[in-house]
Structure 1
């Protein structure tokens, strides 16, 4: 299977996991970092703030930070709660939201999972070529000795 198809499959699988879980876990967050965070993985070592947020289980803050880091030209358009269900919508900064394709949106009972879901949904749309962007993606490089992003996150 082609790498792009593998990425799309992995992101869809991750979305299903987010939909079916009740709250964030170390394992789920490790998979979000693994499959939906190519910019973060391109660094030599994990970002210190990411490790601190994981250690504190500050999942909402981590989700906001990851959206800003991974999707620098995207902004959080809406984070709202309606009938105990959280909705997170993110879109490309500066674009008028006229079309459904311009927004990555996810709903969940847990606010952190709604944010993680929107991040993964945006990455899936980018992988499928449906999301506008003006930022060039980093290339993934395997480096011997590079720190793993999941270091410190229990599975």
Structure 2
């Protein structure tokens, strides 16, 4: 099953995942099209073929784990928990840090695969290279009553 590659807004995709009740082949195709930069991967054709087999067999949780492995090699699954009818999935770059120091991404959903895919999409959105200039821009709406002051002690 070859998936068509398109560019879509990741925020719209996050909303679709939050509103979905179950993963479908169409939704998985949208996720791959919008959030996957390495799929299909020429250098890792075995991983790509495995993901395609998992999607074809509708093994959504395993497909989500395989996408995280392929697309976000620096991110790791930190926690999966079930509480009061919802699955909580957390992805982290620093899994060994205590919770209060770690800046993990946590998504919750009634469906485990959708919680994992939601965390994947959020991590992809955060990890995506931004097109920022190398020099920060100065705000144009600066307050004219404020003036820069030199605070160095030259004495």
User: Taking structure 2 as the reference length, what is the TM-score of the superposition?
Assistant: 0.70
CA distance in 2, matches of 1:41, 1:72: 15
Partner SS state of residue 38, structure 1: coil
Pairing 1:86-125 to 2, within 5 Å after superposition: 86-93=87-94, 96=97, 97-99=99-101, 102-125=103-126
Relative to structure 1, the CA distance from residue 16 to residue 94 in structure 2 (aligned partners, 3 Å threshold; closer, same or farther) is closer
Q: CA deviation at 1:93?
A: 4.0
User: Taking structure 1 as the reference length, what is the TM-score of the superposition?
Assistant: 0.70
CA distance in 2, matches of 1:15, 1:51: 22
Partners of 1:34 and 1:41 within 8 A in 2: no
Partner SS state of residue 106, structure 1: strand
Q: Which residue of 1 aligns with 2:30?
A: 31
Partner SS state of residue 47, structure 1: helix
Q: CA deviation at 1:26?
A: 1.0
Relative to structure 1, the CA distance from residue 42 to residue 55 in structure 2 (aligned partners, 3 Å threshold; closer, same or farther) is closer
Q: Name the structure where helix makes up a greater proportion of residues.
A: 1
Relative to structure 1, the CA distance from residue 128 to residue 83 in structure 2 (aligned partners, 3 Å threshold; closer, same or farther) is farther
Structure number with bigger Rg: 2
Instruction: Structure 1: state its 5+ residue gaps.
Output: 1-6, 130-155
CA distance in 1, matches of 2:92, 2:32: 20
Computed over aligned residues only, the root mean square deviation of the Cα atoms, in angstroms, reads: 2.3
Q: CA deviation at 1:128?
A: 7.1
Q: Taking CA–CA contacts closer than 8 Å with sequence separation of 6 or more, which of the two structures ends up with the larger relative contact order?
A: 1
Relative to structure 1, the CA distance from residue 88 to residue 43 in structure 2 (aligned partners, 3 Å threshold; closer, same or farther) is same
After TM superposition, the structure 1 stretch with the greater mean CA deviation from structure 2, 115-124 or 89-98, is 89-98
Partners of 1:75 and 1:92 within 8 A in 2: yes
CA distance in 1, matches of 2:37, 2:129: 15
Instruction: Structure 2: state its 5+ residue gaps.
Output: 1-6, 131-155
Aligned residues: 121
Q: CA deviation at 1:48?
A: 1.4
